[in-house]
Amino acid sequence: MSDSLTLLAQPVAEANRHIVHELLRPNINPTYIDVGEYIVREDGAVTVPVYSSSLAHQDPEWNYRGEVNVQYSRLDLGEALGHLGLRFRVGTRYNTDELVQRLGQILQIHFEPDEFIRETRDLTTMWDRYLLRAAADSPRWTGEVSILVHR
């Protein structure tokens, strides 16, 4: 099974396909599987529906029907990244997107555009703490992590 960092380096759809393909039985042809769009459930877990492709139904040897769901838990930002002591130099005006872009480059993690609550802030002192907060429907993240921003 792939490690979390390998999966986090991939876009969500690609990582979900990767997870599903690793869970397949060895005799299953991956082209016979369609991976659906993820669903963030009320309990915070993520469900990924998996279907038989139209190609599979043309194969008389194909015995599987219906749908299977793959489920995984999202990572808490504070637990995953809080110990890193994140610090970024910013201008007098900065935003979530630029912090997330830098974080992704440093950690080699692919962040989806809408995974975080977007804000634009003004830095009026020499430093401040910024709380990077996961969006409620983020497919990978929950919670928040503190980032020290400074001039």
Note whether 28 and 51 are within 8 A (CB).
no
Task: List the one residue out of 72, 76, 69, 77 whose CA is nearest residue 96.
Answer: 77
What's the pLDDT tens digit per position in 90-103? 999 999 999 999 99
- Please report which confidence band the pLDDT of residue 1 belongs to, taking 50, 70 and 90 as the band edges: low
Task: Indicate if the pLDDT at residue 71 is higher than 80.
Answer: yes
Can you tell me the distance from the alpha carbon of 117 to that of 136, in angstroms, rounded to the nearest whole number?
A: 9
H/E run at residue 122: strand 120-122
Mean pLDDT on 24-30? 84
The pTM of the full predicted model, rounded to 2 decimals, is 0.88
Burial of 81 (0-12, 13-18, 19+ CB in 10 A): buried
Task: Indicate if the pLDDT at residue 143 is higher than 80.
Answer: yes
Q: Given this model, what pLDDT does residue 107 score? A: 96
